A and B are shown apart, each in its own frame.
Chain A
Amino acid sequence: MKIYLDNAATTPVDREVIEEMLPYFTQKYGNASSLHSFGREARDAIEGSRERVAELIGAKSEEIIFTAGGTESDNIAIKGIAFRKGKGHIITSQIEHPAVMATCQHLERKGFDVTYLPVDRYGMVNPEDVENAIRDDTILLTIMHANNEIGTIEPIEQIARIAKERGIPFHTDAVQSVGKIPVDVSKLDVDMLSISSHKIYGPKGVGALFIKEGLSLEPVMHGGGHEKGLRPSTENVPGIVGLGKACELAESRMEEDMKNMIRLRNKLVEGVLEIEESYLNGHPEKRLPNNAHFRFEAVEGESLLLSLDDKGIAGSTGSACSSKKLKPSHVLLAIGLNEVQAHGSLRLTLGRENTEEEIDYVIETLPEIVEKLRAMSPLWKGGKDVQ
C-alpha cells in the first residue's frame, strides 16, 4: 500500500486540471502578447483564469497577478512595498514560511528594521502584540494565514483591522489556506495575499498574488511589462489555466472536502494519540482541516519518516536531521518545543484522495514503528526495554 500524507508539501494535479491545460501546449500555444488569433486565444485563457482565481477569494479579477509560485508572490509583495518606501520597519512573525522569513531577513541586511513576533504554544500570533509592535515608520505587516507545518490558522481579520486603522499595508501568505478553507479578501480585509497552485491540485511553477486596487508596488523584476509590470516574462499559459481550473474545483468541492478531511483527520489524530507520550502540535481547533502534526517523545523524525516510508506512508518532519541546514524547525522552536522535542515531530497532511482505509492503516502501523525506534533510543526511559 502507498499512502500519500504530505499534501502540505504538494498535491497531485487533478485530472480535470490536466485536461484543461493540455490544449495550451500543442494547439493553443500562442504568446498572449501577440495580436493574432493565436495570441488572443492565449490572452482569453489567462483572463478567464484570472476571473476564476478572483472568484475563489472574493477579489476583482484586475486585483490578481500571476506569478511562478508562492515564493515569488511573497517576494513581489514584500519587496514591492519595501523598495517603494526605501526604508522603514516591517512586522512579521517567527513562524513564517522561508519565502517570507528569508525575504524579511534579506531586507534586514539591506537596512530595514524587522520585528519577528513570537507566537503562543499553539502557534498563534497575538493581535495585541501586532498593535504594540507598530511604530511610526512601520511600512508593512506580513503574517501568514495558516501555518504550513502545524496548520494553525492566524487571527488575520483582527490583525488586518489593526493594519487598516494605522494605514499600514498588510500582506498574508495564504498558500496553505486558499482552496482548503474559505478565504475572502474583502472579509479578511487584507491588502495582499499569496497563492500557490501546486498545493491545491494544480501544476507546480505557478501562483498568484492578490493586490488590492490602489496599492502600488515597486517591481522586483524588470522586463516586458507583463502582469502590470510586476511579473514580466511571457505568461505560463498552461500553468495559469491549470491554476484557474484548480481554483474553480476548490470552490465547488470545498464544503465536501472540508467535511471529509476533518472527519478523517480527527480520526487520525485520535488514533495516533493513543501512543504513549505522543502529542498534537498546533491549535486543537483553529487549524487547517487536513493538518495533523505530532510529536513523539524520544523518537527522531528522520528515522520515523524513513520507517514510515518503508511501510508505504509518506509524511514529513521538522527534525534537524532531515533539514538541509541540520537545524530543527523554527516553527517548532517558536511554539516552545526544545530541540530534542522538535526532532521527534511528524506532519501528516491529508488530501482529497485519502481514504478511511488508509487512515486505519496508518493508525495501525505507526505504533509499531514508534515502539521500535524507542526500543533503540537511549532517551526513552518509559515502556518496556526490548533487547
Chain B
Amino acid sequence: MYSDKVIEHFRNPRNMGEIENADGVGEVGNPVCGDLITVYIKVKDGKLEDVKFKTFGCAAAIATSSMITELAKGKKIEEAMKITRDDVAKELDGLPPIKMHCSNLAADGLHEAIKDYMSKKGKDVQI
C-alpha cells in the first residue's frame, strides 16, 4: 500500500530528533487520530539552516516528516512556506488516498514552525 520511497523514509528517517534552542517549533496533528508531528527549525540569514522532527504516527506520518526536512533544509523561509502537502506526497511517489488527509501534516508542521519563528521575531508572515 505504501510506495518504496515512503517505506525507505520510514525505515531511515532523515533529520529525526529535536533542535535545542530551536528558533521555531511547530506542533500539528492530534494524537486522537493517531498522528502528532513536531517540527523544529534553526534559521540563519533568512534560510533554514536546520530542520528536525519528532513524530508519533503511522509510516506515512513518519515518511512525510522525514521528507519535509529534506525539502526545507537550506531553503529561504519564503520558499519553505510555499512547500505544500501535495509537494511532500509527490516527492514520496504518492500516499495511499486514505492517508493523504490525516497523515500528511508535515508541511503544516513546517509552516507552523516558521510562523512561530516569525512571531518571536515580531514579523508577520505571508502564506
Contacts of B36 in A (CB 8 A): 378-379
Contacts of B27 in A (CB 8 A): 378
* Interface residue B125 (Cβ < 8 Å from any Cβ of A): no
Q: Which of B16, B54, B61, B98 has the most CB of A within 10 A?
A: B54
Question: Do A303 and B32 touch across chains, with their CB atoms under 8 A apart?
Answer: no
Question: Do B58 and A376 touch across chains, with their CB atoms under 8 A apart?
Answer: no
Q: Which of A321, A324, A328, A386 contacts B58 (CB 8 A)?
A: A321
Q: Shortest distance in angstroms between B110's beta carbon and chain A's nearest beta carbon?
A: 15
A322 to B59: give the CA distance in the assembly, Å.
10
* Interface residue A343 (Cβ < 8 Å from any Cβ of B): yes
Question: Do B56 and A321 touch across chains, with their CB atoms under 8 A apart?
Answer: no
A174 to B18: give the CA distance in the assembly, Å.
49
Contacts of B116 in A (CB 8 A): none
Q: For chain B, residues 1 to 47, give those with C-beta under 8 angstroms from any C-beta of chain A.
A: 7, 10-11, 13, 16-18, 27, 31-38
Question: Do A339 and B31 touch across chains, with their CB atoms under 8 A apart?
Answer: yes
Question: How many of A's residues come within 8 Å of B, CB to CB?
Answer: 26
* Interface residue A362 (Cβ < 8 Å from any Cβ of B): no
Q: For chain A, residues 271 to 328, give those with C-beta under 8 angstroms from any C-beta of chain B.
A: 298-300, 302-303, 306, 310, 319-322, 324, 326, 328
Residue of chain B at shortest CB distance from A386: B17
Question: Taking A298-B56, A378-B27, A378-B54 as contacts, is the C-beta distance between A326 and B102 under 8 angstroms?
Answer: yes
Question: Do B33 and A387 touch across chains, with their CB atoms under 8 A apart?
Answer: no
* Interface residue B62 (Cβ < 8 Å from any Cβ of A): yes
Question: Do B34 and A300 touch across chains, with their CB atoms under 8 A apart?
Answer: yes
Contacts of B103 in A (CB 8 A): 321
Q: Shortest distance in angstroms between B50's beta carbon and chain A's nearest beta carbon?
A: 12
A16 to B67: give the CA distance in the assembly, Å.
50
Question: Do A378 and B34 touch across chains, with their CB atoms under 8 A apart?
Answer: no
Interface string of A357-375 (1 = CB under 8 A from B): 0000000000000000001
A324 to B33: give the CA distance in the assembly, Å.
13
Q: Which of A326, A343, A375 contacts B31 (CB 8 A)?
A: A343
Question: Do A320 and B16 touch across chains, with their CB atoms under 8 A apart?
Answer: no
Q: Which of B31, B34, B54, B102 contacts A376 (CB 8 A)?
A: B54
Contacts of B58 in A (CB 8 A): 300, 302-303, 319, 321-322
Question: Taking A310-B11, A340-B31 as contacts, is the C-beta distance between A376 and B16 under 8 angstroms?
Answer: yes
**Inter-chain pairs besides A300-B34, A300-B57, 12 sampled, C-beta below 8 Å:** A303-B59, A321-B34, A321-B35, A321-B57, A321-B61, A339-B32, A343-B31, A376-B13, A378-B36, A378-B55, A379-B36, A380-B56
